[in-house]
């Protein structure tokens, strides 16, 4: 890899393995990384805070307060899930109260209620348990979905499986037939979406983070020995090159559709660093773990096309119906993305969440984006996240 030094501009690009590509200058070498300031108690980098202010309408103080509350909710969620047992109906972070809301079925015991509330969570009653709704979704997953059906997921708040259909296609016979079969599987709520989801790969353009052939994508997170990204960016065995077209490594494993993840080994003078860079500011060393954020949490995405954007986690364990086939166990967000952002980093505070898969809309008019959870990728390939 050709190593160059350049002026330290605020236009920092998405992390490249061993190189950072800026929007207006040659990339700074990875040797600059140790000089990046970091405080162990900081909830996030200045870049992430600024993006939350822009995209979520928060003040700096509100953003930091929310991140602290989300961190507490993230730590509490596995505890309340265990305490709730069979009565667990799902959970989500409520931004207004700053607390985790836990849904319990009507049969929950007084001891269960006390345990959940004792963990600092708010309790609400729902008709169906998470286990029941997961079974309904599993039955819907077996159905062949037409293109007019966008995605479906378990929604704890409505205690149902939400099926999203493209508004312009709702009256189509094949969509109506699918919805009829879905309703027969169990409690279903139908919602409309503006457009069908698409993956965010793109043709070759200048200044891109990495290439597989003529496809441009974005790096997700560094792991020991390489990095993870989206599976639709390339198949196992394909060579990967960096911003300067120099060789990085090969795709060691890839899955798409069904899943949307891949990992690339790193060599030939490239190396990994445990950071996700913001665009327009000097980034902090953000990646310190991969604790899964609850639904309702704030989340930000870094990608090579649209840079930093933030939103909230809308739903988990969704099935997304791309034209290439369905992808399961995805997380939906209100964050925008565009072609070339595929594979890029989704992060909540300093915790890695997943790699960008696809969505609908753009960063001018808005939209929704799905990501493949990073912990699933790590477990699938036996990888270890590179953390600071």
pLDDT at position 42: 57
- 46 CB-contact burial (10 Å; exposed 0-12 / middle 13-18 / buried 19+): middle
Mean pLDDT of 64-89: 94
- The pLDDT confidence band at residue 27, using thresholds 50, 70 and 90, is very low
Of residues 100 and 44, more confidently modeled: 100
Q: Is the preceding peptide bond at 363 cis, omega within 30 degrees of 0?
A: no
Residues 164-184 have pLDDT tens digits of: 999 999 999 999 999 999 999
Of 290, 387, 388, whose CA–CA distance to 346 is shortest? 290
Do 343 and 229 meet the contact criterion of CB atoms below 8 Å apart? yes
The secondary structure of residue 387, as a DSSP letter, is -
pLDDT at position 43: 59
pLDDT at position 136: 98
Catalytic residue numbers read 232, 260, 342
> Given 2.40.30.10, 3.40.50.1380, 3.10.129.10, 2.40.10.10, which CATH number is that of 197-388?
2.40.10.10
Mean pLDDT of 137-155: 96
pLDDT at position 213: 87
Mean pLDDT of 315-330: 97
Of residues 189 and 277, more confidently modeled: 189
pLDDT at 24 over 60: no
pLDDT at 8 over 50: no
Percent of the chain whose predicted confidence (pLDDT) is above 90: 72
Mean pLDDT of 78-98: 95
Do 333 and 303 meet the contact criterion of CB atoms below 8 Å apart? no
Mean pLDDT of 298-303: 92
pLDDT at 4 over 90: no
Boundaries of every domain in the chain: 77-126, 130-196, 197-388
- The pLDDT confidence band at residue 268, using thresholds 50, 70 and 90, is confident
Mean pLDDT of 346-354: 93
- The pLDDT confidence band at residue 161, using thresholds 50, 70 and 90, is very high
Identical fold between 130-196 and 197-388: no
Mean pLDDT of 323-339: 96
CA distances from 303 to 123, 177, 196, 315, 324 (A): 37, 38, 21, 21, 22
For every residue of 170-212, DSSP letters joined together read: TTSHHHHHHHHHHHHHS-EEEEEESS--EE--B---TT-SEEE
User: In the β-sheet with 261-265, what is the strand arrangement from edge to edge?
Assistant: 215-217, 210-212, 239-242, 247-255, 261-265, 226-229, 221-223
pLDDT at position 274: 87
Average pLDDT, the chain: 85
State the Rg of the chain over Cα: 21
Do 343 and 230 meet the contact criterion of CB atoms below 8 Å apart? yes
Q: What are phi and psi of 85, to 5 degrees?
A: 60, -135
Q: What are phi and psi of 232, to 5 degrees?
A: -75, -5
pLDDT at 54 over 70: yes
Percent of the chain whose predicted confidence (pLDDT) is above 70: 85
Mean pLDDT of 274-283: 66
Give the least confident one: 27-36, 86-95, 174-183. Answer: 27-36
71 membership: H or E segment, kind and range:
helix 60-84
Please name the CATH architecture into which domain 130-196 falls: 2-Layer Sandwich (3.30)
- The pLDDT confidence band at residue 270, using thresholds 50, 70 and 90, is confident
Residue 293 forms beta bridges with which residues?
none
- The pLDDT confidence band at residue 269, using thresholds 50, 70 and 90, is confident
Report field, pTM of the whole predicted structure over 0.85:
no
């Amino acid at each position: 890899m050709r190593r160059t030094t350049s002026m330290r501009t605020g236009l920092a690009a998405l992390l490249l393995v061993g190189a950072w590509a800026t929007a207006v200058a040659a990339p700074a070498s990875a040797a600059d990384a140790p000089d990046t300031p970091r405080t162990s108690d900081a909830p996030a980098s200045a870049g992430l805070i600024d993006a939350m202010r822009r995209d979520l309408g928060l003040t700096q103080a509100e953003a930091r307060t929310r991140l602290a509350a989300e961190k507490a909710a993230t730590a509490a969620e596995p505890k309340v899930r265990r305490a709730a047992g069979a009565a667990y109906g799902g959970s989500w972070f409520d931004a207004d109260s700053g607390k985790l809301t836990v849904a319990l079925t009507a049969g929950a015991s007084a001891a269960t209620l006390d345990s959940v509330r004792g963990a600092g969570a708010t309790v609400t009653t729902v008709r169906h348990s998470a286990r029941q709704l997961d079974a309904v979704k599993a039955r819907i997953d077996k159905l062949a979905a037409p293109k007019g059906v966008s995605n479906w997921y378990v929604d704890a708040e409505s205690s149902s499986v939400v099926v999203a259909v493209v508004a312009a296609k709702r009256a189509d016979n094949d969509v109506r037939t699918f919805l009829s079969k879905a309703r027969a599987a169990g409690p279903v709520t139908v919602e409309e979406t503006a457009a069908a989801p698409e993956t965010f790969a793109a043709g070759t353009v200048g200044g891109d983070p990495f290439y597989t052939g003529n496809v441009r994508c974005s790096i997700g997170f560094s792991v020991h020995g390489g990095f993870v990204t989206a599976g639709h960016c390339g198949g196992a065995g394909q060579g990967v090159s960096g911003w300067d077209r120099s060789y990085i490594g090969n795709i060691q494993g890839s899955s798409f559709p069904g899943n949307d993840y891949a990992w690339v080994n790193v060599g030939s003078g490239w190396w990994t660093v445990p950071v996700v860079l913001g665009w327009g500011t000097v980034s902090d060393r953000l990646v310190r773990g991969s604790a899964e954020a609850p639904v309702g949490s704030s989340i930000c995405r870094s990608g090579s096309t649209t840079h930093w954007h933030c939103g909230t986690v809308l739903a988990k364990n969704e099935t997304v119906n791309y034209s290439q086939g369905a992808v399961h166990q995805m997380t939906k967000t209100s964050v925008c993305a565009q072609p070339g952002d595929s594979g890029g980093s989704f992060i909540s505070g300093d915790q890695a969440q997943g790699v960008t898969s696809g969505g609908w809309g753009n960063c001018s008019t808005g939209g929704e984006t799905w990501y493949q959870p990073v912990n699933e990728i790590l477990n699938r390939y036996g990888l270890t996240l590179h953390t600071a």
